[in-house]
Amino acid sequence: MSGTVTRSEATASAPERVPMPVAPLLEVSNLGVTYGRAQAVDGVTFSVGEGELVGLVGPNGAGKSSTLLAIMGEVRRAAGEVRLRGAPVPARPENVVRMGLAMVPEGRHLFPSMTVHENLELGRLARRQGRTPRLDDAEVATLFPVTVEFARRRAGLLSGGQQQQVAIARALLSDPDLLLLDEPSLGLSPTIVASVFSALERINSLGVAILLVEQRAEMTLEFCARSYVLVGGRIRFEADRSTSVETVVASFFGAAPVVSGNRL
């Protein structure tokens, strides 16, 4: 009788690995956002763990940007609460940044008449005192060489891709525990998108959690460990890398999500 153990036999005899729980970092509970009589976000609840890479996908008008803005205190929360490591997150953006949250909004929102260096200084000013940053200035410069190459150029003169890199660098220089990104691929060439997402992988590997809002469902599902599907201001379901993009896109149009042949 052969003493060789087949792969299937080895797998069967091996103890089952139980995934280690991820400590909660951001917890959003029953979040509501209204604009006049319009309900943009309706009872949204989700979480991001320490060091996690989480996506938030949905069609235009789903409430993705409003959710991020409400977390940061940029728009009023009509309902619900936001907590970071169990502590309530205030509704004032400057205080939110000092707690360890940073956001790169859609459209970058750099100060166009200021130089790249001056824009980056705004990120450094928001750093929490008494901490060693996860990414120091040299690491940020390595990830985004444009910040050094065009340091003295006015930010408004940069290309869209260059501005996006400066905006992410500015957010990182505040030393966040969680980085929120709103449509970072919007309007960028495939080459620049690949460069930006490669940098995000490195950032996440250094322990910075990321909440990524994207309309490109396929790219988000592949990039993030798990993603929440937001439609009509509500979370439809939670997806992971095994969820097909067809399932996610179908939910944009009202179809019930189906995973592995079973309706959720």
Kindly give, in sequence order, each residue whose CB lies less than 8 Å from that of residue 33, ignoring residues fewer than 6 positions away: 39, 40, 41, 63, 66, 67, 69, 70, 75, 76, 77, 78, 233
pLDDT band at 20 (very low <50, low <70, confident <90, very high): low
Q: What is the pLDDT of residue 256?
A: 62
The CA distance from 125 to 145, in Å, is 21
Averaged confidence pLDDT in the chain: 87
pLDDT exceeds 60 at position 227? yes
pLDDT band at 14 (very low <50, low <70, confident <90, very high): very low
pLDDT exceeds 70 at position 6? no
Q: What is the pLDDT of residue 132?
A: 84
pLDDT exceeds 90 at position 228? yes
The CA distance from 146 to 153, in Å, is 10
Q: What is the pLDDT of residue 257?
A: 58
- Mean per-residue pLDDT for 222-231? 95
pLDDT exceeds 60 at position 262? no
Q: What is the pLDDT of residue 136?
A: 85
Q: In this structure, are residues 54 and 217 in contact, taking their beta carbons and an 8 Å threshold?
A: no
pLDDT band at 94 (very low <50, low <70, confident <90, very high): confident
> Does 23-253 carry CATH code 3.40.50.720?
no
Prediction pTM value: 0.86
Strand partners, 54: 211, 226
The CA distance from 128 to 109, in Å, is 22
pLDDT exceeds 60 at position 76? yes
pLDDT exceeds 50 at position 10? no
- Mean per-residue pLDDT for 111-125? 94
